[in-house]
């Protein structure tokens, strides 16, 4: 094999033939002789051009040889810097595609409960679209997962396990397939790694080996991430249960922690707080009243207004919350949970408790929880009073702007769609049904209060005030008197 280089300005017939392919069967002596013979005929510029070309060709060969290794290097490098499973799997699929020189790669995860495979990563498919395949389906991926054996198919349309339905749906044409099962430490199948359409032919034995190696890496990462998620879920449920043990001591406060958590998250998301702060907000809101475990039930359940001494005992719960939560190993980004949770009764004018913090001294997440906590307390029945009318609630919340609450947080809370607020508000009482709540989607909480107070409804607002009152007051005695 030889390649030609044109001498600038020379006629086509005078092209110089030069044996550039050093790995094409010539021995070293031949090549040296050919080079010497030719270089004597070349100008300086032409020699430089030839040298560059030789270098380029040499590097190309070297790159081809090193491509799989450099791909593996990039995978290992990503593993040391990237923690998110999805991003890591994207790197692995991208490198696998390059190493195998194929068109697409997909990582299917096995959902044991549903007996389905779903795509964690699927090249060429919209990220929002998840492919789900039944484990019992006749697809190649399902077959691979069921048998725990790799499958190498040269021509998909001639294979009995290939299901062309997805090709028809997407307009893609599958030719060759290489599918390898992903196994955990116990050799159980946890998913499948699939490569499609090898460039120029079918997948080779070397491709099988590479895919097996990369699949082992991917399987390890998936297993690790699944174990981490299980621990995270366990911790989450444990904290939720701990918080509920306090609420459930008293039927009137049942659900308070969950509702405050959900209101806080609604407000936090609406304020567009950094994603990294959301878990702190969630746990701090969930556990904010945990210190109530240290307050006697006779005081908490008192069916009348509290004396000053009793109120002082109730106030102690914020300190108890801090002390108790500080015993839990909240680490890293969660380290601030005990402090944030214990600041939920601080007021921005410094008149709150128990540290009497002021303004920015109060963590902003605690200022979010304060709005959620008071709103829930006012819209819930208490031992010493009934559920407060929503216009009175709004009046108290607005009056608290700038002294108790961060003004913009209250404003933002009242701008939330009232459907979202109602869904949280009624989550424990079960008075509203989803289709009723849906009607409030286009009306924010502020507008709903205006309608309840007698504002003239616009076209789509007609009847909302009555529906709201029916939901809100269901189960309450008619014409009840609020003690507040
Ligand atoms: Fe509290």
Instruction: Determine the average pLDDT of the residues in 233-258.
Output: 85
Burial class (CB in 10 A: 0-12, 13-18, 19+), 232: exposed
Q: What is the whole-number distance in angstroms between the Cα of residue 107 and the centre of ligand 1? A: 46
Ligand 1 ion: Cβ-proximal residues, 5 Å cutoff: 289
Instruction: Determine the average pLDDT of the residues in 291-297.
Output: 90
Q: What is the whole-number distance in angstroms between the Cα of residue 56 and the centre of ligand 1? A: 71
Residue 444 is part of a domain; what is its CATH number?
Answer: 1.10.3210.10
pLDDT higher than threshold 90 for residue 396: yes
Q: What is the whole-number distance in angstroms between the Cα of residue 439 and the centre of ligand 1? A: 32
Q: What is the whole-number distance in angstroms between the Cα of residue 154 and the centre of ligand 1? A: 66
DSSP bridge partners of 151: 179
In-domain check, residue 478:
no
pLDDT at 5: 37
Q: What is the whole-number distance in angstroms between the Cα of residue 342 and the centre of ligand 1? A: 8
Distance CA 131, CA 124 (A): 12
In-domain check, residue 234:
no
The answer to whether residues 174 and 296 belong to one domain is no
Q: What is the whole-number distance in angstroms between the Cα of residue 341 and the centre of ligand 1? A: 9
Q: Is the peptide bond before 178 cis (omega within 30 degrees of 0)?
A: no
pLDDT at 243: 87
Distance CA 57, CA 294 (A): 78
Q: What tens digit of pLDDT does each residue of 336-354 get?
A: 999 999 999 999 999 999 9
Q: What is the whole-number distance in angstroms between the Cα of residue 318 and the centre of ligand 1? A: 6
Q: What is the whole-number distance in angstroms between the Cα of residue 288 and the centre of ligand 1? A: 6
Q: What is the whole-number distance in angstroms between the Cα of residue 285 and the centre of ligand 1? A: 10
Q: What is the whole-number distance in angstroms between the Cα of residue 317 and the centre of ligand 1? A: 7
Q: What tens digit of pLDDT does each residue of 355-390 get?
A: 999 999 999 999 999 999 999 999 987 766 678 899
Number of domains the chain contains: 3
pLDDT higher than threshold 80 for residue 180: yes
The answer to whether residues 316 and 268 belong to one domain is yes
The answer to whether residues 205 and 286 belong to one domain is no
The answer to whether residues 203 and 335 belong to one domain is no
Q: What is the whole-number distance in angstroms between the Cα of residue 345 and the centre of ligand 1? A: 6
pTM greater than the 0.85 cutoff = no
pLDDT at 384: 60
Q: What tens digit of pLDDT does each residue of 77-106 get?
A: 777 777 777 888 888 888 888 888 899 998
Q: What is the whole-number distance in angstroms between the Cα of residue 225 and the centre of ligand 1? A: 35
pLDDT at 174: 92
- The parent domain of residue 287 ranges over 248-473
Burial class (CB in 10 A: 0-12, 13-18, 19+), 97: middle
224 — pLDDT class (breaks 50, 70, 90) = confident
Q: What is the whole-number distance in angstroms between the Cα of residue 283 and the centre of ligand 1? A: 14
Distance CA 239, CA 245 (A): 10
Percent of the chain with pLDDT over 90: 46
Residue 197 backbone class (left: φ over 0; alpha: ψ -120 to 50; beta: rest):
left
Query: Mean pLDDT, the chain, as a whole number?
Result: 83
Percent of the chain with pLDDT over 70: 82
């Amino acid at each position: 094999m030889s390649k030609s280089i044109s001498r600038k300005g020379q006629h086509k017939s005078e092209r110089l033939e030069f044996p550039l392919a050093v790995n094409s069967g010539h021995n070293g002596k031949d090549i040296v002789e050919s080079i010497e013979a030719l270089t004597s005929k070349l100008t300086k510029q032409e020699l430089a051009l030839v040298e560059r070309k030789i270098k380029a060709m040499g590097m190309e060969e070297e790159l081809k040889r090193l491509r799989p290794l450099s791909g593996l290097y990039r995978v290992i490098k990503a593993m040391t810097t990237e923690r998110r499973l999805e991003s890591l799997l994207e790197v692995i699929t991208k490198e696998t595609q390059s190493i195998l020189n194929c068109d697409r790669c997909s990582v299917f995860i096995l959902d044991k409960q549903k007996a389905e495979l779903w795509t964690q990563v699927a090249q060429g498919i919209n990220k929002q679209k998840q492919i789900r395949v039944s484990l019992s389906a006749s697809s190649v991926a399902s077959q691979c997962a069921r048998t725990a054996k790799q499958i190498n198919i040269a021509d998909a349309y001639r294979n009995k396990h290939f299901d062309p339905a997805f090709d028809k749906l997407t307009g893609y044409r599958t030719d060759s397939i290489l599918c390898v099962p992903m196994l955990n430490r116990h050799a159980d199948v946890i998913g499948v790694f699939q490569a499609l359409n090898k460039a120029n032919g079918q997948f080779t034995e070397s491709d099988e080996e590479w895919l097996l190696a990369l699949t082992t890496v991917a399987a390890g990462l998936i297993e690790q991430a699944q174990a981490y998620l299980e621990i995270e879920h366990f911790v989450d449920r444990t904290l939720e249960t701990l918080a509920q043990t306090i609420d459930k001591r008293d039927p009137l406060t049942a659900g308070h922690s969950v509702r405050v958590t959900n209101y806080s998250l609604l407000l936090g998301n609406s304020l567009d707080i950094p994603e990294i702060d959301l878990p702190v907000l969630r746990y701090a809101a969930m556990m904010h009243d945990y210190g109530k475990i240290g307050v006697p039930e006779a005081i908490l359940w008192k069916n009348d207004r509290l004396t000053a001494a009793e109120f002082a005992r109730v106030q102690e719960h914020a300190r108890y919350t801090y002390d108790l939560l500080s015993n839990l190993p909240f680490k890293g980004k969660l380290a601030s949970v005990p402090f944030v949770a214990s600041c939920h009764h601080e007021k921005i004018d410094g008149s709150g408790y128990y540290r009497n913090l002021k303004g920015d001294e109060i963590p902003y997440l605690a200022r979010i929880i304060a709005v959620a906590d008071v709103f829930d307390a006012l819209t819930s029945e208490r031992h010493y009073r009934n559920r407060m009318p929503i216009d009175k609630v709004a009046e108290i919340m607005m009056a608290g702007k700038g002294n108790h609450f961060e003004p913009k947080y209250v404003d933002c809370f009242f701008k939330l769609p009232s459907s979202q607020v109602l869904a949280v508000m009624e989550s424990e009482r079960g008075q509203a049904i989803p289709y009723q709540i849906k009607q409030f989607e286009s009306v924010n909480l502020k507008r709903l209060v205006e309608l309840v107070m007698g504002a003239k409804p616009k076209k789509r607002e007609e009847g909302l005030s009555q529906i709201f009152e029916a939901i809100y007051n269901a189960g309450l005695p008619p014409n009840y008197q609020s003690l507040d």
